Chain A
Amino acid sequence: MNDNIIIRANGIRVEYPNVVANDNVDFELLHGEIHGLLGENGAGKTTLVNVIYGIKRPDSGELYIFGDKITSFSPKVAQRYGLYMIPQHSILVERHTVLENIALALPGFKLNKKALRAKVMRLINRLRLELDLDSKVMDLSVGEKQRVEAIRALVRGAKVLIMDEPTSVLSPMETYSLFSFIRNLKKEGLSVIFITHRLREVMELCDRVTVLRKGRNMGTLTREEMTIDKLTELMFSRKIMIRRYNNRSMQGKVILSLKNVSTFSNGGYIGLKDISLDIRVGEIVGIVGVAGNGQNELAQVAVGLIKPHSGRIIIDGDDLTGKSIFEFYKKGLAYIPDNILDGLVLDMTLTENAILKLYRTSGFSMNHIVDWETAKRYTSEIVKNLEIKTPSIDVKIKSLSGGNLQRFILSRELSNNPKIIIAVHPSRGLDLESTAKVLGYLAKMKSHSGILLITEDLDEAIKICDKIMIIYKGKLSKPMNIDNLDYELAGKMMSGAVSIEEAN
């Protein structure tokens, strides 16, 4: 056996109810390589690393780490071999300093802070990092937190780092510095398993890549063999291109407009800074930006959940500034929130969830008495409209799968001929086919409503929107028409390389 092989997985199979997450997957990690795991959402990447890291025992297959056959699957075992997983969202103690967090990871009760500090400083210098060991973790950016997690692992003697979609929570700038960090790790002799669904990242960073599709290993390529075309072909069952949903419809009157809206930035909220936008019936306006730049706040202001401290919100000619969300709903507003679980009560039935916004309206209740018969008829319709799979409308909604929950919310929100639709990441977590369905459905809705689509995915916005606006640190760019969009400029604005003011 090759001494260079650190991890060897043979014929890994993991089955979940209704789905085979890993089907006879082989995988090899060599010493000192950055090995990409590429695949769409649900291709089985996370399942595979969960097996390697010992979180999940495979139903069949063999796993060797440094030549030893693994029989007992547990992260403790993996860590004994020097495998460490860097979580996407850090699990550091926010109120403690960086050094204290690193100290926490060490075994034993006695702590020589001075020696540890010296050790960590040496490590940081070797990796050419800029990191203040005494700053509190809560003051760090997401990217910095990831690096603290990595250093924690290194101090504990990591030989292999597993990173599960680290870039999905990073801005392009932070991604760039993460990549140089990973390259420096490689120079230190570490191996890295890098999970992503982005081709370009693999092309840029990885020495080898293993492509997964629907739980199967589609092949492992070396750096020389990698081309965008080849990877695309392996990743998707069919070649997909950006296809526009260009069913142009007549643009009507302005249905929603925000005028110079600003919000406070306390309590974990990004403040919006003097935001103005108009949405007309018949158009889809996309707000594109990296997560955490104020798009959630924008959505919540536009539906009345957050009250702006200045500026006005006008719906269909009426000033609704400062009114409750219920008044907004009464004007025909539909809202698909960032986290669909915010719009559902998991311990209630489908019927009870279906009337979440309608229960106060005539037909669904009279004199405070809920009309459950009407509610049930209405629920059956919702379920039928988007082909939601459920044994009955009387079961608790938590028994539905994630995709079905997403469809349920979508069907509920779009069922009452809304005049304005505010959709935040409506396709998040859906597979390609469902995403296409959802986007197609939204595109159809625009004939009689104005739609605000908030997304992190520029390509998705290009597919479906008529105009897009970039959001960065609470500021909104001018609307850009999709037909003559400067793709590069948009990307640069998203990453902050070009400021919104400059572009405007």
Chain B
Amino acid sequence: MKKQIDELILALPSWVFLPIAIILSLIIFGVILVVNDKNPILVYHEIIITGFGSYRGLSETLTTSIPLILAGVGLSIAYKANLWNIGAEGQLYMGAIGAGIIAYEFSPTPVSLIGMFIFGFLFGGVWGLIPALLKRYYEVNEIITTLMMNYIAIHIMDYLVFGRWRDPTTFGFPFTPLLPDNMIIPRLLPGSRLHATVIIAIFASIAIYLLMYKTTEGYEIRVYGGNPEAARYSGINITKVLLLSMFLSGALAGIAGVGEFAGIHRRLTTGFSKGYGYTAILIAWLGSLNPIYVMVAAILFSGFVVGLDALQISIGLPFASIYLFEGILLIAILIREYAERVKARYV
């Protein structure tokens, strides 16, 4: 069986692996739909219409994609450096907390919003930097530290929304006060939640693409990720690579946190992010770690999620469907990694 599959892989050109992975996960999810007495063709048709085919749907899709683009592009930098940053979720929380400091600890000024973005950028970045420092100087595995620091960030958020920053008018609900108007990220389209962070997200994707493929720093990150020994051989400053890639990775997730805070919720709550930092891992790999593709992957995935979300209500799909689909897609993409390894072995 394995042999036949390997032969099939060898016979196919490598660009088809990704489409096959996606189609495969759609088929598997389709089986689950059939078991639930739903017609998968109709469901998928409905998803595409809802997610991409209407003004409301498309703008909602773009809105959902903002944190995924930012965190996903950030993660793609770390993954290119072969650093397993699992901490985008925590870095996103810290970004929001950084923005919260400007919003709740200082009196408002006309440039508060800009300050919130800068603080979000720095807080997310530093949250990524700590695992990098621990790895560089104490050889601590970054998978463990980034993952664990997610919980620290989430609980700092809990501490703040239950304590120091709690809105006294919410009668005990864990909310912070709504932001004043001049600290809210402007919305771009009438009747939609699409906020200006989308421009930052698109700009960041292009900028990180240029950084990775056109500059010496990006080259160093890719060399280190491809073969640390070769980086040593070349005399690349490994400390710089580790710190820069993890800082940027965290900082972009931090911006995503600011966007969710000041663009969508306009206040901080417990369970502030819907796991965007974890979904972004999937998005980064779906986009083959290329920032431009990551952006496209984030938008397509968001469309699917928005469509599925709407269907949950209209045709009564279980709430967990989205996570189910996410899991199936991740497995399919990991299988694609296997296919590429098989291919590489025989080239």
Chain A interface residues (CB < 8 Å from chain B): 17, 304-305, 324-326, 329, 335, 337, 339, 341-348, 352, 356-357, 359-360, 365, 368-370, 372, 396, 398-399
Complex Cα–Cα for A492 and B33 (A): 77
B230 touches A344 (CB 8 A): yes
Complex Cα–Cα for A212 and B70 (A): 60
B226 touches A345 (CB 8 A): yes
A368 touches B217 (CB 8 A): yes
Could you mark each residue 306-347 of chain B with 1 if its beta carbon is under 8 Å from any beta carbon of chain A, else 0?
Answer: 000000000000000000000000000000000000001011
Shortest Cβ distance from residue A133 to the other chain B in the assembled complex, whole angstroms = 34
Extra pairs beyond A342-B230, A345-B227 (11, CB < 8 Å): A325-B234, A326-B234, A335-B233, A341-B227, A344-B230, A348-B222, A348-B226, A352-B223, A368-B215, A370-B214, A399-B347
Shortest Cβ distance from residue B226 to the other chain A in the assembled complex, whole angstroms = 4
Shortest Cβ distance from residue B74 to the other chain A in the assembled complex, whole angstroms = 20
Out of B214, B223, B229, B232, which one reaches A348, CB within 8 Å?
Answer: B223
Q: Which of B214, B232, B234, B347 has the largest number of chain A CB atoms within 10 A?
A: B234
B151 interface residue per 8 A CB criterion:
no
Shortest Cβ distance from residue B343 to the other chain A in the assembled complex, whole angstroms = 10
Out of A337, A359, A368, A399, which one reaches B233, CB within 8 Å?
Answer: A337
Shortest Cβ distance from residue A466 to the other chain B in the assembled complex, whole angstroms = 27
Q: Which of B219, B223, B233, B346 has the largest number of chain A CB atoms within 10 A?
A: B233
- Which residues of B sit under 8 angstroms from A398, Cβ to Cβ? 344, 347
Shortest Cβ distance from residue A166 to the other chain B in the assembled complex, whole angstroms = 27
B4 interface residue per 8 A CB criterion:
no
- Which residues of B sit under 8 angstroms from A342, Cβ to Cβ? 227, 229-230, 232-233
B235 interface residue per 8 A CB criterion:
yes
Q: Determine the residue in chain B with the shortest Cβ distance to A372.
A: B214
Tally chain B residues at the interface, Cβ within 8 Å. 18
B230 touches A368 (CB 8 A): no
A343 touches B233 (CB 8 A): yes
- Which residues of B sit under 8 angstroms from A372, Cβ to Cβ? 214
Out of B215, B222, B234, which one reaches A369, CB within 8 Å?
Answer: B215
Could you mark each residue 120-163 of chain B with 1 if its beta carbon is under 8 Å from any beta carbon of chain A, else 0?
Answer: 00000000000000000000000000000000000000000000
What are 9 A-B pairs at a CB distance below 8 A? A304-B235, A342-B232, A344-B227, A344-B230, A345-B226, A346-B226, A359-B216, A368-B216, A372-B214
Could you mark each residue 190-225 of chain B with 1 if its beta carbon is under 8 Å from any beta carbon of chain A, else 0?
Answer: 000000000000000000000000111101001100
- Which residues of A sit under 8 angstroms from B229, Cβ to Cβ? 339, 341-342
Complex Cα–Cα for A339 and B229 (A): 10
Question: Which residues from 219 to 250 on chain B have a C-beta closer than 8 Å to any C-beta of chain A?
Answer: 219, 222-223, 226-227, 229-230, 232-235
- Which residues of B sit under 8 angstroms from A347, Cβ to Cβ? 226
- Which residues of B sit under 8 angstroms from A369, Cβ to Cβ? 214-216
Q: Determine the residue in chain A with the shortest Cβ distance to B230.
A: A345
Q: Determine the residue in chain B with the shortest Cβ distance to A305.
A: B232
A325 touches B230 (CB 8 A): no
A360 touches B216 (CB 8 A): yes
Shortest Cβ distance from residue B171 to the other chain A in the assembled complex, whole angstroms = 55
- Which residues of A sit under 8 angstroms from B217, Cβ to Cβ? 368
A-B complex: 10 closest residue pairs judged by Cβ atoms: A326-B235, A345-B226, A325-B235, A342-B229, A399-B347, A345-B227, A356-B234, A347-B226, A368-B215, A368-B216
Q: Determine the residue in chain B with the shortest Cβ distance to A353.
A: B230
Complex Cα–Cα for A324 and B232 (A): 10
B227 touches A359 (CB 8 A): no
B216 touches A365 (CB 8 A): yes
B219 touches A324 (CB 8 A): no
Given contacts A326-B235, A348-B222, contact A343 B230 (CB under 8 A): yes
- Which residues of B sit under 8 angstroms from A326, Cβ to Cβ? 234-235
Q: Determine the residue in chain B with the shortest Cβ distance to A355.
A: B219
Out of B214, B230, B235, B346, which one reaches A324, CB within 8 Å?
Answer: B235
Complex Cα–Cα for A341 and B227 (A): 9
Q: Determine the residue in chain B with the shortest Cβ distance to A327.
A: B235
Shortest Cβ distance from residue A312 to the other chain B in the assembled complex, whole angstroms = 20
Complex Cα–Cα for A305 and B229 (A): 11
Complex Cα–Cα for A396 and B344 (A): 10
- Which residues of A sit under 8 angstroms from B214, Cβ to Cβ? 369-370, 372
- Which residues of A sit under 8 angstroms from B216, Cβ to Cβ? 359-360, 365, 368-370
Given contacts A325-B233, A343-B233, contact A359 B219 (CB under 8 A): yes
Shortest Cβ distance from residue A504 to the other chain B in the assembled complex, whole angstroms = 33
Shortest Cβ distance from residue A402 to the other chain B in the assembled complex, whole angstroms = 13
Shortest Cβ distance from residue A333 to the other chain B in the assembled complex, whole angstroms = 11
Q: Determine the residue in chain B with the shortest Cβ distance to A335.
A: B233
Complex Cα–Cα for A398 and B219 (A): 18
Complex Cα–Cα for A369 and B215 (A): 4
Complex Cα–Cα for A304 and B233 (A): 10
